[in-house]
Amino acid sequence: MTAPLIDPFQRAINYLRVSVTDRCDFRCVYCMSEDMTFLPKKDLLTLEELERMCSTFVRLGVEKLRITGGEPLVRRDIMTFFRAMGQHLETGALKELTLTTNGSQLHRFADDLAACGVRRVNISLDTLDAEKFKRVTRWGRLENVIRGIDAAQKAGLRVKINAVALKGFNEDELIPITKWCADRDMDLTWIEVMPMGDMGEEDRIGQYWSLHDLRQELAKTYTLTELSERTGGPARYVRLEETGQKIGFITPMTHNFCESCNRVRLTCTGELYMCLGQEDMADLRAPLRASEDDALLEDAIRAAISLKPKGHDFDYSRQVIEGQMTRHMSHTGG
């Protein structure tokens, strides 16, 4: 049972993204509807079950673990889970433990996260305008996120800002956000909006801002140098010669990254999604709970990886939404 996890297309799966909750204290317009119905708490894996699940993946060769949500830091007692995962860093079995957060609760946990071995955090932030921030998150307050960024940097965590490119919303902030990140020594990644979940009256096509167009706009101000660097995720990077900062582009729509996909996603209910943009999933909760021994769980994980598809079918090119997923991003994990 020590053979690495290899999918049908000979991609080694060594990166697990784990959603520890579908709940969030924001209601971002591209992620959730305002009146979300969240899962009953009884349906969620306990923190002990999440620990056992993730430890099994680590034993099978996962070297990078990213904790997501919803908003992961709203889950009660979540630091007990981080401390448990930090033990795998100490043994060397796990190479990196990271977190994606909206930053609202980060001021409370930054020091504890650093103590658990977390060295990098991704913070979702689409605008530096307080009123626009309130509008895009519906419930959020920009000052709380800035407070979280301050706390993370003070704790020694490397911060990367993730910004979703939204047409007609933050196009005019491309250069200001870039300069702000440079001044604070933070890297920045832009993400194309993906067709995940029913947004009610929100218009996906109207939201979509191609990163090809964004890059062209960025190149009017900066000299962009392509980088070969990969961080284990889907981003492609450039360096801005004038500032030296690294800018990432995650482009599931204009240029998918499926050929190098090394990751799978575990939900807070124990569903394993082999692809963010496909509905196929495997139930790992049943084998987890069926036995105190991990043999059934390991078999189920290997069987799931053997079904990993070649890629997703997201497509906006014909001005209609194709490949749309019925589940919200918060269900699978951002």
- The number of CA neighbours under 13 Å toward the Cβ of 21 is 19
Q: Is 30 annotated as a binding residue?
A: yes
Torsion sign (Cα): 220, 28, 188, 238: negative
- Say which residues have a Cβ less than 8 Å from residue 278's Cβ, sequence separation at least 6: 309, 312, 313, 325
4 domain residue, yes or no? no
Q: Is 145 annotated as a binding residue?
A: no
Return the exposure string of 121-144: e unless at least 16 CB atoms fall within 10 Å of the residue's CB, then b: bbbbbbbbbeebbeebbeebebeb
7 domain residue, yes or no? no
pLDDT of residue 312: 53
Q: Is 275 annotated as a binding residue?
A: yes
8 A C-beta contact, residue 297 and residue 287: yes
58 domain residue, yes or no? yes
List the domain range (segments joined by +) for residue 272.
15-332
The pair of structure tokens assigned to 137 is 């998150």
80 domain residue, yes or no? yes
27 domain residue, yes or no? yes
Rg (CA), the chain: 19
Return the exposure string of 205-227: e unless at least 16 CB atoms fall within 10 Å of the residue's CB, then b: eebbbbbeebbeebeeebebeee
For the chain, which ranges sit under pLDDT 50? 196-197, 199-202, 204-205, 314-325, 327
pLDDT single digits (tens) 50-91: 999 999 999 999 999 999 999 999 999 999 999 999 999 999
Q: Which of 258, 262, 307, 263 is nearest to 282 (CA)?
A: 307
Q: Is 100 annotated as a binding residue?
A: yes
pLDDT of residue 18: 98
Number of domains in the chain: 1
The pair of structure tokens assigned to 330 is 């918060």
pLDDT of residue 316: 42
Q: Is 70 annotated as a binding residue?
A: yes
Q: Which of 200, 188, 184 is nearest to 163 (CA)?
A: 188
Q: Domain holding 146: CATH number?
A: 3.20.20.70
Q: How far is CA 112 from the centre of its chain?
A: 21
Q: Is 124 annotated as a binding residue?
A: yes
Q: Is 263 annotated as a binding residue?
A: yes
Instruction: Name the pTM for this structure.
Output: 0.86
pLDDT of residue 271: 97
8 domain residue, yes or no? no
Q: Is 258 annotated as a binding residue?
A: yes
141 domain residue, yes or no? yes
pLDDT single digits (tens) 111-153: 999 999 999 999 999 999 999 999 999 989 999 999 999 999 9
pLDDT of residue 222: 97
158 domain residue, yes or no? yes
Q: Is 54 annotated as a binding residue?
A: no
